[in-house]
Structure 1
Amino acid sequence: MRRLWHIFQTVLGLIFRHPLTGTSIISRLPDGRIVLVRRRDNGLWSIPGGLVDWGEDIPTAVRRELAEETGLELVKISRLVGVYSAPDRDPRLHSICVVVEAQVNGQMQVKDELEISEVQAFELTSLPDGKLSHDHNQQLQDYLNGLTTLA
């Protein structure tokens, strides 16, 4: 009985005490604009992305999240921008975010209306002022500065 309890505790620990893995996609349209989404939960602009589903790899999650949140298609992942793992980077839970730059195309359209209220493309010179959701200000700034970050 004691052995079974130990196994049960280990499984619970794995499920509830380890960070979840997600991805953010700095999406570049052919004309160079960056695509951002407005989140419904806090009303802030955000880099598209989300959690990696069970059985997915990062590129598959990038393709799925991009389509769900923006309606756009992934052309190619251009580069790794960084891996962000600070326990307080997401106010909801401890997550590790793999951030990539991706070349995208298609028609912008919100598909996941429960999470996203708006999708819009911005010139680099006209990105929204103020706070982006989560730690996306840092992610975007690191990208614009050409950095590859482990934080």
Structure 2
Amino acid sequence: MLLLFFATFAQSRSNLWRLVQTILGLIFRHPITGASIIPILPDGRIVLIKRRDDGCWALPGGMVDWGEDIPQTVKRELREETGLELVKITRLVGVYSAPDRDPRIHSICILVEAEVQGEMEIQDTLEALEIEAFPPDSLPLGKMSHDHTRQLEDYLNGLTTLA
């Protein structure tokens, strides 16, 4: 979490951010792994959050914590960012690994579709400003955070992507 805070803080100052990226690359020497979730409510709507750091709509998700596997990360991130409970992961949609897909750090994102239930309520107010459920034909696919527009388009087109 400290790494993400520092990366987000440093992002606003481009020269400092390039230095931080170089240092992180030397220290870690490997991308960070994370997961994004396409949460599907029982009525078929897709849940998105509006991120606090960039004000854009995004899929819920985050970095895999030490000792977690992807299903545990999906369950935790859903609860933290949306208040929803995971019913089951229904599909692997793709793996996204482009070095510039996340403006903060080189990360590999595993995207899954998941059936969810419960009441939508932001738990982590430091990350999310807003939460909303959209019918699949009314998603705000314009400027989304990270590469989430591509991820949602791949999902809507029925693709399984390795990028």
Kindly indicate whether residue 102 of structure 2 is the aligned counterpart of residue 83 of structure 1: no
- Distance in 2 between the 1:120 and 1:13 partners? 35
Equivalent in 17, 27, 30 of residue 18 of structure 1? 30
1:66 aligns with 2:87: no
Aligned AA (1:121)? A
Report sequence identity in percent.
73
1:149 and 2:158 correspond: no
The answer to whether 1:32 aligns with 2:38 is no
Which one-letter code corresponds to 1:141 in the other structure?
A: E
Cα distance in structure 2, aligned partners of 1:47 and 1:13: 26
1:97 Cα shift? Answer: 0.2
- The RMSD of aligned alpha carbons is 1.3
Deviations 1:40-80 (CA, angstroms, capped at 9, x unpaired):
00000000000000000000000000000000000000000
Unaligned runs of at least 5 residues, structure 1: 1-11
Task: Tell me the CA shift for residue 124 of structure 1.
Answer: 1.1
Provide Cα deviations, 1:74-114, integer angstroms capped at 9, x if missing partner: 00000000000000000000000000000000000000000
Which deviates more from structure 2 when the two are superposed, residues 126-135 or residues 104-113? Answer: 126-135
Count of aligned pairs between the two proteins: 140
Per the alignment, in what secondary structure is the counterpart of residue 92 of structure 2?
A: strand
Distance 1:115 1:90 in 2: 15
Code of the aligned partner of 1:107: E
Give the TM-score normalised by structure 1. Answer: 0.90
Q: How far apart are residue 14 of structure 1 and its match?
A: 8.1
Uncovered stretches (5+) of structure 2, i.e. residues with no partner: 1-23
Structure showing greater Rg: 1
Task: Summarize the Cα distance change of 1:33–1:94 in structure 2 as closer, same or farther, 3 Å threshold.
Answer: same
Which one has the bigger helix percentage?
Answer: 2
2:44 and 2:82 map into 1 onto residues whose CA distance is 16
Secondary structure of the residue aligned to 1:61 is: helix
TM norm structure 2: 0.83
